[in-house]
Structure 1
Amino acid sequence: MKSQNKSVIKKKLFIEGLLALLISLSVLLFYSYKFIPRGEELEELNFLGITFTKNGYREIYLAIYYYMGKIVPLYLLIIWFITCKNWWYHAILIPIAMYAFQLFSSIYGESLKVDENELLYLLGVCMIIIPIVYYIRVKLFDKHVHGIDLDAIDAELKEYKERERLQKEKDLKGKKL
């Protein structure tokens, strides 16, 4: 029993340490574009098996700058979404979707139209997520703030209807006699 608790604690500490490392490395990752050689003659850059090109930008470091400006907030928001224990954590999906659409457009779109057309895609995401978050909020607010338990209310209504039915049956028997 004790060794099982120790292994759970070790696993939890390892995961939390890994998350802290990822969060602390975000600053280095964000400013990684400063380590890219500048000059228009550089056509492509290979790093860890990934080939970066200008992709419509004037220089490769500008492309990396735009990518990191989207990737770092995106992965920090994903970490927040995964680790959040609050009821409203689904709302974090909206900025996650925003950064994902912006990253996609900065990689596959024209460099002159970065961060322009994502609003229409984001509107669709918001139309799904906002009602879900509001529904969860209403349920929790009613239960914990107002003390309204919908299951208890349903049980009371069923009990009330049963009493009414029994009373009607009793009245009908009384009239027949």
Structure 2
Amino acid sequence: MSSILVLSGSPSATSRTAALSDHLADRLRAHGHAVGAVRVRDLPAEPLAHADAAHPAIARVVDAIAAADGLVVASPVYKAAYSGLLKLLLDLLPQFALAGKVVLPVVTGGTTAHVLAIDYALRPVLSSLGASHIVPGWFVLDQHIELTPDGVRLESATELYRLVDGFSTAVGRTLVRAS
């Protein structure tokens, strides 16, 4: 069984990005993966801001990333880039922390003007961290994510699910090749 870690980089307590991340984690679990989740906002702020990778909470996340076969990296778009909170965590990772991993970038935003944030802001960082395979990412408009008592309802989710399912398959193939 492959392991996937879902990182949510939203600083908001009532976050559409975090809810979407949870929704995607559930879909990946249904594919038979062991899926863990980290909401970066729940990590202690001081060690993140001071780049204290030795702090136990931060070290656990770094170890979880190292142990994962695949990674979903989700963030809202602010100022045409992924969140500063996510950047704080990514800056703490070793240079090739994503080597051998399949990565799915997912961003949310209020307008399609930010759709290129994946390719111009997030993908280069994931690549510089050594990701073996970054699958095509996906941009989701905030207005297409409805928070419901049962979780999330997505408008026009077909293409997103196709990408998530492709990511799931790629993670499974990577695990087979590594065996």
Asked if these proteins are the same fold (TM beyond 0.5), I'd say no
- What interval of TM-score do these two structures reach, taking the shorter chain for normalisation? under 0.3
The structure number with the bigger radius of gyration is 1
The structure, 1 or 2, with the larger RCO (C-alpha pairs under 8 Å, 6+ apart) is 2
More strand by share: 2
| TM-score normalized by the length of structure 2 | 0.26
| TM-score normalized by the length of structure 1 | 0.27
More helix by share: 1
